[in-house]
Amino acid sequence: MFCDLWTVISESTLAFAREHCNDDPVKLLLQRHRHPDVDMELAARQIEGRRQAAAKWPLLLQYPDYVYPAHLGREQSSSQATALYKASLASLLTADSPGPHRLLDLTGGMGIDDIFFARNGLDVDYIERNEELCKLSQHNFAAMGLTNIHCHCADSTTRQSNTSYDIIYADPARRDTAGRKTYAFSDCSPDIVALLPVLPPHRHLLVKASPMADIASGLQQLGHVAEVHVIAVCGECKELLFLVSSQYGQPDNPAIICTNLRADGTAISTHRFGLDQQRQTQPTYCSDGMGHYLYEPHAALMKAAPWGCLCLWYNVKKLDRNSHLYTSPRLVEGFPGRTFEVLREVPLNKKDIAAALDEHGSHGQANVISRNHPLAADTIRQKMHITPGGNLYLIATTVMQRPTTYLCVKTSAASE
Q: How many CB atoms lie within 10 A of CB 115?
A: 25
pLDDT at 313 over 60: yes
pLDDT at 2 over 70: no
The answer to whether residue 168 sits within a structural domain is yes
Among 207, 212, 203, which residue's Cα sits nearest to residue 227? 207
Distance separating alpha carbons of residues 190 and 177, to the nearest angstrom: 12
Summary mean pLDDT of the chain: 90
The answer to whether residue 361 sits within a structural domain is yes
**What pLDDT score was predicted for residue 6?**
35
Distance separating alpha carbons of residues 370 and 57, to the nearest angstrom: 33
Statement to judge: residues 135 and 273 lie in one domain: yes
Statement to judge: residues 249 and 345 lie in one domain: no
Statement to judge: residues 62 and 90 lie in one domain: no
Up-side HSE of residue 175: CA atoms within 13 Å toward CB? Answer: 8
Among 369, 53, 416, which residue's Cα sits nearest to residue 233? 416
Statement to judge: residues 103 and 35 lie in one domain: no
The answer to whether residue 408 sits within a structural domain is yes
Residue range 35-44: mean pLDDT, rounded: 84
Domain around 365: 293-412
Distance separating alpha carbons of residues 219 and 243, to the nearest angstrom: 10
Statement to judge: residues 232 and 311 lie in one domain: no
- The structural domain count of the chain equals 3
**What pLDDT score was predicted for residue 40?**
86
pLDDT at 175 over 90: no
pLDDT at 72 over 90: no
Statement to judge: residues 320 and 300 lie in one domain: yes
Distance separating alpha carbons of residues 244 and 409, to the nearest angstrom: 43
pTM over 0.75? The answer is yes
List pLDDT tens digits, range 352-378.
999 999 999 888 999 999 999 999 999
Percent of the chain exceeding pLDDT 70 equals 94
The answer to whether residue 315 sits within a structural domain is yes
The answer to whether residue 233 sits within a structural domain is yes
pLDDT band at residue 186, thresholds of 50, 70 and 90?
Answer: confident
Distance separating alpha carbons of residues 114 and 140, to the nearest angstrom: 11
Statement to judge: residues 190 and 331 lie in one domain: no
**What pLDDT score was predicted for residue 3?**
42
Q: Between 228 and 2, name the one with better pLDDT.
A: 228
pLDDT at 414 over 50: no
**What pLDDT score was predicted for residue 33?**
80
Residue range 103-121: mean pLDDT, rounded: 96
The answer to whether residue 286 sits within a structural domain is no
Least confident of 89-103, 168-182, 219-233: 168-182
pLDDT band at residue 178, thresholds of 50, 70 and 90?
Answer: low
| CATH assignment at residue 95 | 3.40.50.150
Residue range 112-117: mean pLDDT, rounded: 98
